Amino acid sequence: MKCEACKIWLLVILIVSLGFYAAYQFVPPAPPKQFTLATGSTAGAYYAFGMEYQQDLLKQHLTVKVQPTAGSIEALHLLNDKKVDVAFIQGA
């Protein structure tokens, strides 16, 4: 009787474990807790906005590294080269 109960519990544990493993395959990874933001020059408005975002998102436990740039073209290059995650750029 004891061995029969052990076999059933072992089977249940195996099925549940396989279910968790299968479900885990479809769970997306958690979003990053930090990212790099390309802004304009340190004297410009985009940099000031970046610093505000940095302070506001810190309250949400997100770390923002602000990367000053010479302008939108440099920010786009940094985005394309995957050296920053987000950038403030000027649109046309």
pLDDT per position as a tens digit, 50-83: 999 999 999 999 999 999 999 999 999 999 999 9
Determine the pLDDT at residue 36: 97
This prediction has a pTM of 0.69
Measure the CA–CA gap between 38 and 30, rounded to whole angstroms. 23
Task: Answer yes or no: is 22 within a domain.
Answer: no
Task: Answer yes or no: is 44 within a domain.
Answer: yes
Task: Answer yes or no: is 78 within a domain.
Answer: yes
Please, which residues bridge with residue 38 across strands?
67, 87
Is residue 76 within 8 Å of 91, Cβ to Cβ?
A: no
Residue 5 reports pLDDT greater than 90: no
Task: Answer yes or no: is 45 within a domain.
Answer: yes
Determine the structural domain holding residue 44 and report its residue range: 34-87
Measure the CA–CA gap between 5 and 7, rounded to whole angstroms. 5
Task: Answer yes or no: is 41 within a domain.
Answer: yes
Residues 6 or more apart in contact with residue 87 via CB below 8 angstroms: 37, 38, 39, 69, 72, 75, 76, 78, 79
Give the count of domains, the chain: 1
